[in-house]
Chain A
Amino acid sequence: DSGVTQTPKHLITATGQRVTLRCSPRSGDLSVYWYQQSLDQGLQFLIQYYNGEERAKGNILERFSAQQFPDLHSELNLSSLELGDSALYFCASSVLGGRPVGELFFGEGSRLTVL
């Protein structure tokens, strides 16, 4: 158990819908990273927050947004969902602020299926 908690574990929804994925980092970690894992794209970095502030941005679509709250949990919002958004979404946390990144501890992931 990495100490990173993600909910929900599984989510099935329809195209055009909006979902929210939630992540609680390990106790003491201030950085949260979001990654998308799919068969065709592999593990893709989406976005990083440190203590509520966006620190790094990767291949995140405009339809996706994220934020980190004062209690350090983070949410990833996916809207206008398309079939291609079906993937496993991982949250990871780190004690470091992102410069450097440091060792990441991953949650169990949220498996999103868009029908």
Chain B
Amino acid sequence: ELKVEQNPLFLSMQEGKNYTIYCNYSTTSDRLYWYRQDPGKSLESLFVLLSNGAVKQEGRLMASLDTKARLSTLHITAAVHDLSATYFCAVESRETSGSRLTFGEGTQLTVNP
């Protein structure tokens, strides 16, 4: 069974600082997704990473995928308060009962002034 682990689970950072969220997974996959969720809200797609070495950037967020290490990172540059949310990585896997996305536990990010 695929296991997806994120760390840290909780992250409190100051505005203007940089930080990285890590997503490790246990079985082979070359498709990984990052989502953002605001409290009580839906999940919003941020990045789709479809191959080893894929790197995507949007504003202050950059995501990368290393399929050999089974690792994805979400790097935050010069954080601002609006980035406060919970970030999930999701790994695609093919199992006997069909393909699905397995989500990590989420990283709750708080950006303080």
Residues on A close to B: CB < 8 A? 2, 33, 35, 42-43, 45, 48, 55-58, 90, 92, 98-109
Contacts and interface: CB of A to CB of B under 8 A. Distances in A.
Contacts of B43: 90, 92, 104, 106
A109 B42 contact: yes
Contact of B92 (A35, A100, A105, A109): A100
14 contacts: A42-B104, A45-B100, A48-B98, A56-B99, A56-B100, A58-B100, A90-B42, A90-B43, A98-B98, A101-B100, A104-B45, A104-B90, A105-B45, A106-B35
B99 A100 contact: yes
Interface residues of B, number: 24
Contacts of A98: 98-99
Contacts of A45: 100-102
A90 B88 CA distance: 15
Given A42-B103, A104-B33, A55 B98 contact: yes
Given A2-B42, A106-B44, A108-B42, 7 more contacts: A42-B104, A43-B103, A45-B102, A90-B43, A98-B99, A103-B45, A104-B90
B31 A58 contact: no
Contact of A107 (B31, B42, B100): B42
Task: Please list the 7 inter-chain residue pairs (A to B) with the smallest Cβ-Cβ separation, ordered nearest first.
Answer: A56-B98, A43-B103, A106-B43, A106-B42, A45-B100, A57-B97, A108-B42
A101 B105 contact: no
A103 B41 contact: no
A51 to B, nearest CB: 14
